[in-house]
């Protein structure tokens, strides 16, 4: 994509991302507005279907906050403590009480799609290299692990201070 090309976030793009997320094994997809993973500012739209599993993680590199704004559907961001216990739930929805939030650098977090089609815009500092930037929570099952379904059910109903006992 040329740097002189106009970059638009359109209803059509949102529909297409929803279709791609529905067809994706992970039940989510994203569209990057930044040119490369080395860009100093990462800008993307993430579409996720209800039931996607985003393994709890944090961005260990210094000052790797991320800011998200809800575009479509309801979603929930969960912040977790170092021991895996639930610290906070934040509901995010366009027109809701909270429509955007900044996830602090080094905060353990995960996302739940509460509606079948949840979409958010994310902005974060780059560069972004998943193998260096993302640290997955050792107290959470990796994607594809048979315990993901049980852990995901726990995430939906966990109360503040509770910790998943299935690992």
Here the CATH number for the domain that contains residue 57 is 2.60.120.10
Is 29:47 a contact under the CB 8 Å cutoff? yes
Q: What is the pLDDT of residues 11-50, one digit of tens each?
A: 999 999 999 999 999 999 999 999 998 898 999 999 999 9
114/85 Cα distance (integer angstroms): 21
- Is 142 domain-assigned? yes
Nearest alpha carbon to residue 90 among 106, 107, 111, 105? 111
- 115, part of any domain: yes
- Do the domain assignments include residue 3? no
Residue 160 has pLDDT above 60, yes or no: yes
| Tally of domains in the chain | 1
Give the pLDDT confidence score for residue 134 in this predicted structure.
82
**Cα gap 62→92, rounded to integer Å:** 25
Residue in this structure with the two tokens 């994310």, named with its chain if needed: 122
Question: Whole domain around residue 88: which residue ranges?
Answer: 11-157
Q: According to the model, what pLDDT value does residue 122 have?
A: 96
Does 38 fall in a domain?
yes
pLDDT grade for 133, boundaries at 50, 70 and 90: confident
């Amino acid at each position: 994509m040329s740097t002189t090309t106009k970059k638009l976030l359109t209803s059509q793009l949102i529909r297409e991302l929803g279709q791609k997320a529905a067809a994706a094994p992970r039940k989510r997809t994203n569209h990057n507005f930044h040119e490369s993973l080395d860009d100093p500012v990462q800008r993307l739209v993430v579409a996720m279907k209800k039931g996607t599993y985003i393994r709890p993680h944090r961005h260990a590199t210094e000052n790797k906050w991320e800011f998200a704004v809800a575009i479509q559907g309801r979603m929930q961001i969960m912040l977790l403590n170092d021991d895996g216990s639930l610290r906070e739930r934040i509901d995010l929805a366009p027109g809701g009480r909270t429509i955007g939030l900044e996830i602090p650098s080094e905060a353990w977090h995960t996302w739940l799609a509460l509606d079948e089609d949840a979409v958010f815009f994310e902005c974060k500092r780059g560069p972004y290299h998943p193998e260096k930037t993302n640290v997955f929570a050792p107290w959470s099952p990796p994607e594809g692990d048979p315990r993901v379904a049980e852990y995901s059910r726990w995430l939906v109903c966990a109360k503040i201070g509770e910790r998943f006992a299935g690992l």
